[in-house]
């Protein structure tokens, strides 16, 4: 099975989890049982959205400055580069922040899709958009993430979903993933395993 593209989530996957989404919800004014932030914001007025995005932007900018790579990220990206496997980012964050993280840690990604480009994860749109850009069918694409939205988007698009189990709730998302890993560099052996598999 040939893998031509690997798509990563940004926060919590490329970088260590640092964003405090509960605190962001609280500052915006959402209750403890509110849904995900971007979806809840769809019910806001434009003025309310502007205020909410200002809060989100402040947290995201601070997270970039404090960001640290997850173990194995650099080795994995080096391996993918040697194998000429293209890489992408799909994030509910912004392209500017993704580029800032990449610049801070001297990383390179071939393309980035952010929350303003189209429907966000768990919608399949971002995965399918990168498949189109890379001219690669979804079944030859791996999507790696640490949250339910990541593996749901991969599954909806028909891509290979890989869950990074780096937090206490990760096991709840296993039913939506094709594979799971504890460290990003476990992707290397997974890709080698998939290459050796007859289709």
Question: Which strands, in side-by-side order, build the sheet including 86-90?
Answer: 111-113, 86-90, 5-8, 141-145, 160-164, 179-181
Examine the domain organization and report whether 129 and 182 are in the same domain.
Answer: yes
Examine the domain organization and report whether 26 and 111 are in the same domain.
Answer: no
Task: Tell me how many domains the chain contains.
Answer: 2
Examine the domain organization and report whether 148 and 60 are in the same domain.
Answer: no
CATH of the domain at 100: 3.40.50.1000
Examine the domain organization and report whether 74 and 156 are in the same domain.
Answer: yes
Q: Residue 112: which of 95, 127, 124 has the closest Cα?
A: 95
- Which segments in the chain show pLDDT lower than 50? 199
Examine the domain organization and report whether 38 and 106 are in the same domain.
Answer: no
What pLDDT is attached to residue 35? 76
What pLDDT is attached to residue 198? 56
Examine the domain organization and report whether 44 and 26 are in the same domain.
Answer: yes
Is residue 67 within 8 A of residue 33, CB to CB? The reply is no
What pLDDT is attached to residue 82? 98
Residue numbers of the domain that contains 25 = 21-66
Q: Which long-range contacts (CB under 8 A, 24 or more apart) does 23-29 make?
A: 23/59, 24/55, 24/56, 24/59, 27/55, 28/52, 28/55, 28/56
Examine the domain organization and report whether 86 and 121 are in the same domain.
Answer: yes
User: Reduced to 3 states, what is the DSSP secondary structure of residue 8?
Assistant: strand
């Amino acid at each position: 099975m040939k893998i031509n593209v690997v798509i990563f989530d940004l926060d919590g996957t490329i970088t260590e989890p640092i964003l405090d989404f509960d605190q962001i919800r609280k500052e915006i004014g959402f209750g403890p049982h509110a849904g995900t932030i971007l979806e809840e914001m769809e019910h806001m007025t434009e003025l309310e959205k502007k205020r909410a995005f200002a809060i989100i932007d402040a947290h995201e900018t601070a997270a970039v400055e404090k960001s640290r790579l997850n173990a194995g990220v650099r080795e994995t990206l080096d391996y993918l580069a040697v194998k000429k496997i293209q890489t992408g980012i799909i994030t509910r964050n912004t392209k500017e922040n993704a580029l800032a993280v990449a610049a801070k840690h001297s990383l390179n990604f071939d393309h980035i899709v952010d929350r303003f480009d189209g429907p966000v994860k768990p919608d399949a749109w971002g995965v399918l958009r990168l498949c189109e850009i890379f001219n690669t069918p979804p079944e030859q694409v791996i999507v790696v993430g640490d949250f339910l939205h990541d593996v749901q988007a991969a599954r909806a698009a028909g891509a290979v979903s890989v869950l990074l189990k780096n937090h206490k709730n990760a096991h709840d998302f296993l039913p939506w993933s094709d594979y799971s890993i504890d460290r990003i560099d476990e992707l290397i052996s997974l890709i080698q395993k998939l290459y050796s598999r007859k289709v």
